[in-house]
Amino acid sequence: MRTFTLAIDHHRTPLKKNVWLISFILLFTALWAYTLIGTPDYSNWFLENALVFLFIGFLLYTCRKHQFSDLSYLLICVYLCLHIYGSMYTYAENPLGYWLKDAFGWERNHYDRIVHFSFGFLLAYPMREMFLSWLKFPVWVAWLLPIEITLSVSGFYELIEWGVADVFFPAQGAAYLGTQGDIWDAQKDIFLATTGAVLATTIVSTIKSTFNIK
């Protein structure tokens, strides 16, 4: 098995020989199929996974010319797995969220909060890598842009949720939104995603600065 690539490198193993990437793909595909087979609401599953199809399409389109490091692919895989597991039951009815609710005495199912935070925390590093390795942006720009993009995408996603719930698919709207009675649900989701991105980029920058890693 090849060495797990934590840093950005420009001499990558061919895709078909990248054991780590193949493992991530198999894991994600198996879980994705499991959530589709096990979901009680197929309409909501396809609705929740619409952006996943677009994201997978982006990765397939760019992988021939540009590849992420193994660490970035791992972070992307973890985030996508969290999202599709939420889509199986809807975020508000997720069993893991209920288990955490009982274990910590929370007042609501916070699985959606976890995934929104993970969006910023897990995807900020791959975005930073993309700006540095693919687009050759300055380091300070590559630190700032993941935060700005996370904030923008989170806000846009909440608008999409509103459109789906109120305009296009009112029958699935309540399950799709999963606000659980919280009128500030959208704002809190945006805040958590942005906080995750700030935390991730700060951690990466601190580690690189402390250990003088390029």
**What does the mean pLDDT of the chain come to?**
84
Which pLDDT score, from 0 to 100, does residue 8 have? 43
State yes or no: pLDDT of 139 exceeds 90: no
Which pLDDT score, from 0 to 100, does residue 214 have? 63
Select from 140, 153, 6, 3 the least CA-distant residue to 68.
6
* Domain coordinates in residue numbering, the chain: 15-210
State yes or no: pLDDT of 199 exceeds 80: yes
| 10 band by pLDDT with thresholds 50, 70 and 90 | very low
Give pLDDT tens digits for 116-134. 999 999 999 999 999 998 8
Which pLDDT score, from 0 to 100, does residue 176 have? 56
State yes or no: pLDDT of 11 exceeds 50: no
Radius of gyration of the chain (CA): 18
Given a contact cutoff of 8 angstroms between Cβ atoms, the answer to whether 143 and 131 are in contact is no
State yes or no: pLDDT of 52 exceeds 90: yes
State yes or no: pLDDT of 83 exceeds 90: yes
State yes or no: pLDDT of 179 exceeds 50: yes
| 91 band by pLDDT with thresholds 50, 70 and 90 | confident
State yes or no: pLDDT of 14 exceeds 70: no
Give pLDDT tens digits for 140-158. 888 899 999 999 999 988 8
CA–CA gap between residue 158 and residue 119 (Å, rounded): 13
Which pLDDT score, from 0 to 100, does residue 9 have? 43
State yes or no: pLDDT of 98 exceeds 70: yes
Classify residue 44 as exposed, middle or buried by CB count within 10 Å of its CB (0-12, 13-18, 19+): buried
The answer to whether the Cα torsion of 56, 60, 66, 67 is positive or negative is positive
Compute how many other C-beta atoms are within 10 angstroms of the C-beta atom of residue 92.
Answer: 21
